[in-house]
């Protein structure tokens, strides 16, 4: 587009920031304010907000500290995506606007609002405490400070990426489960829990794990991958979540919780038929009593609407099931071998 | 509010270590940590390179003694030798302690903590975790404080000490969430609020909040500031933002190149080259630029930090943050092109005058970390010694306060004093007539400091700086706070931060004018050599009846005699 190139050469573009405003002292509900400024190439969203605060509207409130992408203060939603304002380039954002030339700036979701772009981080800190997001050292008290644990570079790499987390809460804001259930552990806390659980210096792996497998814990994740996609440090958060689940099944067995049973039932169906036997899935996950008590009304409705899944004997194996089973076994064998190699402590 | 035994102001490395140690020393104490940000946001997180400790992992022949000597020499002999002794002797213990409680570290082949070379150090003794060492240390300390149930008052902005004669009764602070001023009566107060180098504003690598709040509060309460003229310029700040490229980049083998393609450090430090001490490298870069051998751009003059010869693998493995920052803030990928850099105000060697136990001259008031001046860094801090300083002296201050809290009566803060504080804030929100914008004043302060009290100083320049600061202080009285809200009034907070920077700026400039010699980070063009006879001493700045008053303090010597400092 030639006009874009011309604008680039000029080095300045008019940009409108449409910013979420809410002051609980005076506003009954939130609204948006538009601020139009001229932004040169290379300017970040945070620097633009600073400019607006200094020159246009001093009451505009947001957090910012290091301004270099390491402290995690300025997490907010820019054009609908949770990220750090300090590492987001205005000109990049201009390509993502729903309305041309208008960058929408909103607070993070799933955390209580305080004012404008500022949300309350306390719920996240409370969850870090609840899930023991710390190392409880196995070094005897009298020995502390006297010698190092010997830790391989390989072990370090197991949690290296996870310790990049700056608790900016972008993943918290993007998580689809949290939006439905505020009590859900949240991706950042799962990541931190994983980081602690694979650290050989830690002595409360089992305690942490027993908390993680409870309600609102690791089994509630639906693999939407939003956390990982939005992570400002490109941390593979879903890998950590999967690792906690695998660890849970390995340490606590496949019949431990409904989450584990659900995963096991999935595996069983896929191996046998290459697809799910949905009719019995709730029973195998949560048992007959729970299913009758909780799902019977819905089952009746489904019958009326003729939406019931076929009964198990009628679920035919998928096409090419034999080849698929061979592949499936090979994969599970691989996973087992990898486990033996890397996850055994 | 129930009186506290210890109120710690600041939740960075020093504050959190103090809290942990105080709880360990006496678990029955009532301890609070106040922080204007969530503690995990503190500027400790920005320290990339690492922490020095003579563990002898990488170089088997390293010793504490060598670490002591390097630190004293690096300080241009202005550090107190007994304090340096404490710093370096405690170093291996504290790094192992951190390792024991969960800090991740990069590892050597023998599975011990990895160490790398750093500027001014005779052996590779800088312990690191990739290029995120401060971040991982801060996370560990915060995690451990949560584990131990430390009471946090997050997003509280400290306003003033409540003083009764020669001792403190506690602290007044504003709760950002409500805008209310709250009293924290306390037997002891520990300041751990970090440095003041952000007063150089756009020519500083510091976080926006490194505005010297603790020092300013102590200064206004009559506690002396020590060696304030010593501000370290880090050689390699990004050209546009002043943000920092860690010394680790040079430790890993990066070159500094001028526009003629020369590795110009050969002219200034033949042996150490790019790994010379920070003050020397900063002056060298500035000289290259002043003598016309820098590159020019609309965003200012600069030189190149070239990492391209290190290869993509090494850069990705050991300097990932640097790469990310170069891409985000300069649009440059260091794997393919050199990074544009120039010196940036980075660290404040000066601070609240304390003894080796963190005590100030005011009973019940302590300070630790960059906020304090013990002094272990003297006229110039070595890379890798700042993380170490906050850990070692944070712990000592925490222990001392815990041991001494019992000596003091619980303080009470009167309703009248609380009301005065509230009225003071209110009055700022309603000035009449002509007004000033805090944003403009903040930028002007940074400019005058960088120009007149920067890397190269001279009597006439510094005097101009002093005049400018005094004018800015006058204009500050007319600054208006436009945000009238009680809830999270960041406008008010930034105005108060500006006041803190303005108050401290006068001590930096006064010290720079008084010290008629060149030592460490302080370079006077009109007095180009170190003058041990006249100036081998600390400067003190105390506010008495609203006016700055100069004092001095001898340097504690020890095993090492004064020598010329060459690299």
CB contact (8 A) between residue A160 and residue B94? no
pLDDT per residue as tens digits for the range B188-218: 999 999 999 999 998 899 999 999 999 999 9
- Measured in angstroms, the CA of A130 and the nearest CA of chain B are apart by 10
Residue A325 CB burial class (10 angstroms; 0-12, 13-18, ≥19)? middle
User: H or E stretch including B215?
Assistant: helix B213-220
Written as six digits, the tokens of A110 are 């799933």
Q: At what angle do helices B459-476 and B490-514 cross, to 10 degrees?
A: 150
Which chain A residues contact residue B135 at CB under 8 A?
70, 163, 166
CB contact (8 A) between residue B41 and residue A148? no
Query: How large is the average pLDDT for residues B126-143?
Result: 96
| Annotation says B250 is catalytic | yes
pLDDT of residue B428: 77
- Measured in angstroms, the CA of A157 and the nearest CA of chain B are apart by 9
Tell me which DSSP letter residue A243 carries.
H
Which residue of chain B has the CA closest to A139? B100
- Measured in angstroms, the CA of B42 and the nearest CA of chain A are apart by 7
Query: SS3 for B336?
Result: coil
Written as six digits, the tokens of B155 are 């997003």
CB contact (8 A) between residue B40 and residue A167? yes
When CB atoms are compared, the residue of B43, B96, B112 closest to A146 is B96
CB contact (8 A) between residue B208 and residue A202? no
When CB atoms are compared, the residue of A57, A143, A163 closest to B104 is A163
Which chain B residues contact residue A144 at CB under 8 A?
96-97, 100-101
pLDDT at residue B527 greater than cutoff 70: yes
Q: At what angle do helices B64-74 and B81-100 cross, to 10 degrees?
A: 130
For residue B246, give the nearest of B406, B48, B59, B383 by alpha carbon. B48
Interface with A, mutate which of B12, B17, B38 (most A CBs under 10 A)? B38
- CA distance linking residue B121 with residue B51, whole number of Å: 12
- CA distance linking residue A72 with residue B81, whole number of Å: 38
Domain segments of chain B as ranges: 236-343, 415-530
pLDDT per residue as tens digits for the range B237-274: 998 878 888 888 998 899 999 999 999 999 999 988 99
Please give the residue that has the higher pLDDT: either B70 or A278: B70
Interface with B, mutate which of A47, A145, A191 (most B CBs under 10 A)? A145
Domain segments of chain A as ranges: 2-119, 122-252, 258-336
Query: How large is the average pLDDT for residues B296-301?
Result: 82
Tell me which DSSP letter residue B338 carries.
P
CB B428 within 8 A of CB B492: yes
User: H or E stretch including B460?
Assistant: helix B459-476
Domain A122-252: CATH superfamily is Alpha-helical ferredoxin (1.10.1060.10)
In sequence order, which ranges of chain A are alpha helices (DSSP H)?
2-10, 45-55, 90-94, 122-130, 153-160, 170-174, 176-180, 187-197, 205-212, 226-230, 237-252, 258-273, 281-286, 288-304, 321-342
Query: SS3 for A115?
Result: strand
pLDDT of residue A343: 52
Query: How large is the average pLDDT for residues B446-457?
Result: 94
Query: SS3 for A158?
Result: helix
| The CATH fold of domain A2-119 | Ubiquitin-like (UB roll) (3.10.20)
- Measured in angstroms, the CA of A8 and the nearest CA of chain B are apart by 14
Which chain A residues contact residue B207 at CB under 8 A?
65-68, 71
pLDDT of residue A6: 38
Q: How many CA atoms lie within 13 A of B302 on its CB side?
A: 22
Alpha-carbon distance values, A186 to A182, A222, B105, B216, B558 (Å):
9, 12, 26, 40, 55
CB B425 within 8 A of CB B160: no
In sequence order, which ranges of B111-197 are alpha helices (DSSP H)?
133-148
Class of domain B236-343: alpha beta
Query: How large is the average pLDDT for residues B282-305?
Result: 91
pLDDT of residue A311: 83
CB contact (8 A) between residue A156 and residue B105? yes
User: H or E stretch including B99?
Assistant: helix B81-100
Query: SS3 for B549?
Result: strand
CB B536 within 8 A of CB B555: yes
CB contact (8 A) between residue A151 and residue B140? no
For residue B255, give the nearest of B310, B208, B217, B205 by alpha carbon. B310
CB contact (8 A) between residue B107 and residue A151? yes
**Per-chain mean pLDDT for chain B:** 94
Choosing among 3.30.1540.10, 1.10.40.30, 1.10.132.10, 1.20.58.100, the CATH entry for B415-530 is 1.20.58.100
Q: Which of B125, B250, B346, B565 is catalytic?
A: B250
Query: SS3 for A106?
Result: strand
When CB atoms are compared, the residue of A151, A160, A163 closest to B139 is A163
Alpha-carbon distance values, A202 to A134, A231, B109, B451 (Å):
9, 26, 22, 51
Please give the residue that has the higher pLDDT: either B171 or A275: B171
- Measured in angstroms, the CA of A258 and the nearest CA of chain B are apart by 30
pLDDT at residue B10 greater than cutoff 90: yes
Which residue positions in chain A have pLDDT lower than 70? 1-10, 341-345
Percent of chain B residues topping a pLDDT of 70: 99
The neighbouring-strand residues paired with B456 are: B523
CB B166 within 8 A of CB B363: yes
Confidence category of residue B224, pLDDT binned at 50, 70, 90: very high
- CA distance linking residue A102 with residue B113, whole number of Å: 49
ipTM of the complex: 0.92
- 3-state SS, B108-128, equals CCCCCECEECCCCCCCCCEEC
Please give the residue that has the higher pLDDT: either B324 or B440: B440
Q: Which of B43, B135, B169, B234 is catalytic?
A: B234
pLDDT per residue as tens digits for the range A284-330: 888 888 888 888 888 889 889 888 888 888 888 888 888 888 888 88
pLDDT per residue as tens digits for the range B351-377: 999 999 999 999 999 999 999 999 999
Query: SS3 for B171?
Result: strand
Alpha-carbon distance values, A78 to A29, A101, A319, B75, B528 (Å):
20, 13, 45, 46, 51
CB contact (8 A) between residue A71 and residue B46? yes
pLDDT at residue B57 greater than cutoff 90: yes
- 3-state SS, B220-260, equals HCCCCEECCCCEEEEEEEECCCCCECCCHHHHCCCEEECCC
Which residue of chain B has the CA closest to A55? B439
CA dihedral B394, B400, B406, B409 (to 10 degrees): -70
pLDDT at residue B236 greater than cutoff 90: yes
For residue B319, give the nearest of B327, A225, A312 by alpha carbon. B327
* Helix, strand, coil fractions of chain B, as percent rounded to 5: 40, 20, 40
Which chain A residues contact residue B244 at CB under 8 A?
68
- B211 φ, ψ (degrees, to nearest 5): -105, 15
């Amino acid at each position: 587009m030639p006009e874009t190139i011309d604008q680039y050469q000029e080095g300045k573009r008019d940009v409108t920031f449409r910013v979420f405003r809410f002051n609980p002292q005076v506003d009954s509900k939130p609204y948006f304010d538009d601020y139009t400024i001229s932004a040169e190439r290379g300017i970040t969203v945070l620097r633009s907000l600073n400019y607006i605060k200094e020159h246009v509207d001093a009451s505009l409130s947001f957090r910012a500290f290091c301004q270099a992408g390491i402290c995690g203060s300025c997490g907010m939603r820019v054009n609908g995506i949770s990220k750090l304002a300090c590492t987001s380039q205005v000109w990049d954002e201009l390509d993502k606007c729903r309305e041309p030339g208008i960058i929408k700036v909103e607070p993070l979701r799933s955390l209580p609002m305080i004012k404008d772009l500022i949300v309350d981080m306390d719920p996240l800190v409370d969850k870090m405490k609840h899930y023991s997001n710390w190392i409880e050292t196995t070094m005897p008290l009298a020995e502390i400070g006297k010698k190092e644990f010997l830790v391989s570079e390989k072990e370090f790499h197991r949690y290296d990426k996870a310790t990049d987390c700056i608790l900016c809460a972008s993943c918290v804001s993007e998580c689809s489960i949290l939006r439905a259930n505020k009590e859900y552990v949240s991706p950042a806390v799962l990541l931190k829990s994983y980081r602690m659980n694979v650290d050989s210096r830690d002595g409360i792996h089992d305690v942490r794990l027993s908390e993680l497998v409870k309600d609102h814990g690791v089994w509630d994740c639906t693999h939407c991958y939003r956390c990982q996609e939005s992570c400002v440090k490109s941390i593979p958060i879903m890998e950590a979540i999967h690792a906690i689940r695998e660890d849970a099944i390995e340490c606590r067995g496949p019949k431990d919780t409904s989450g584990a049973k659900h995963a096991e039932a999935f595996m069983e169906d896929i191996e046998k038929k290459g697809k799910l036997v949905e009719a019995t899935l709730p029973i195998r996950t949560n048992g007959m009593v729970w299913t009758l008590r909780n799902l019977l009304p819905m089952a009746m409705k489904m019958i009326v609407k003729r939406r019931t899944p076929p009964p198990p004997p009628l679920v035919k194996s998928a096409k090419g099931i034999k080849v698929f089973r061979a592949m499936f076994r090979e994969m599970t064998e691989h996973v087992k071998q990898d486990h033996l190699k890397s996850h055994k402590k | 509010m129930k009186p506290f035994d210890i109120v710690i102001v600041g939740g960075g490395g020093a504050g959190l270590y103090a809290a942990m140690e105080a709880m360990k020393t006496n678990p029955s104490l009532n301890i609070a940590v106040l922080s204007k940000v969530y503690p995990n946001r503190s500027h400790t997180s920005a320290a990339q390179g690492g922490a020095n400790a003579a563990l002898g992992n990488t170089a088997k022949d390293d010793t504490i003694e060598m670490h002591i000597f390097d630190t004293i020499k690096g300080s241009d002999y202005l550090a107190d030798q007994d304090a340096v002794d404490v710093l370096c002797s405690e170093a291996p213990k504290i790094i192992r302690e951190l390792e024991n409680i969960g800090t991740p570290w990069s590892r050597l082949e023998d599975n011990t903590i990895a160490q790398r070379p750093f500027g001014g150090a005779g052996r590779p003794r800088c312990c690191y975790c990739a290029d995120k060492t401060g971040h991982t240390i801060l996370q560990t300390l915060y995690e451990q404080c949560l584990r131990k149930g430390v009471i946090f008052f997050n997003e509280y902005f400290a306003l003033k000490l409540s003083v009764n004669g020669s001792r403190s009764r506690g602290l007044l602070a504003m709760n950002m969430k409500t805008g209310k001023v709250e009293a924290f009566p306390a037997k002891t107060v520990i300041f751990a609020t970090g440095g003041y180098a952000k007063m150089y504003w756009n020519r500083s690598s510091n976080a926006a909040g490194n505005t010297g709040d603790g020092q300013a509060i102590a200064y206004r309460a009559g506690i002396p500031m020590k060696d304030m003229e010593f501000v370290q310029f880090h050689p390699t700040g990004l050209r546009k933002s002043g943000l920092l490229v860690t010394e680790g980049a040079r430790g890993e083998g990066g070159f500094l190149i001028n526009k003629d393609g020369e590795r110009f450090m050969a002219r200034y430090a033949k042996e150490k080259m790019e790994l010379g001490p920070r003050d020397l490298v900063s002056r060298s870069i500035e000289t290259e630029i002043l003598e016309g051998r820098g590159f020019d751009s609309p965003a200012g003059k600069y030189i190149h930090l070239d990492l391209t010869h290190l290869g993509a693998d090494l850069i990705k493995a050991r300097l990932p943050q640097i790469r990310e920052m170069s891409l985000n803030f300069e649009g440059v990928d260091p794997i393919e092109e050199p990074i544009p850099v120039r010196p940036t105000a980075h660290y404040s060697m000066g601070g609240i005058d304390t003894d080796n136990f963190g005590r100030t001259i005011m009973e019940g008031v302590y300070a630790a970390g960059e906020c304090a001046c013990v002094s272990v860094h003297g006229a110039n801090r070595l890379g890798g010694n700042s993380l170490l300083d906050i850990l070692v002296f944070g712990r000592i201050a925490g222990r001392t306060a815990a041991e001494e809290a019992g000596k003091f009566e619980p303080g009470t803060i009167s309703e009248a004093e609380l009301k005065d504080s509230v009225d003071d804030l209110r009055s700022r929100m309603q000035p009449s007539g002509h007004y000033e914008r805090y944003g403009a004043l903040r930028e002007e302060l940074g400019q005058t400091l960088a120009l007149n009290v920067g890397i190269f100083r001279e009597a006439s320049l510094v005097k101009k700086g002093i005049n400018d600061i005094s004018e800015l202080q006058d204009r500050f009285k007319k600054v208006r706070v436009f945000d009238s809200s009680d809830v999270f009034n960041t406008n008010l907070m930034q105005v108060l931060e500006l006041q803190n920077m303005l108050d401290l700026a006068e001590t930096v400039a006064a010290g720079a004018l008084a010290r008629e010699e060149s030592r460490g980070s302080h370079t006077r063009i009109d007095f180009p050599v170190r003058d041990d006879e006249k100036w081998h001493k600390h400067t003190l700045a105390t506010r008495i009846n609203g006016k700055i008053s100069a004092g001095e303090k001898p340097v504690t010597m020890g095993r090492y005699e004064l020598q010329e400092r060459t690299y």
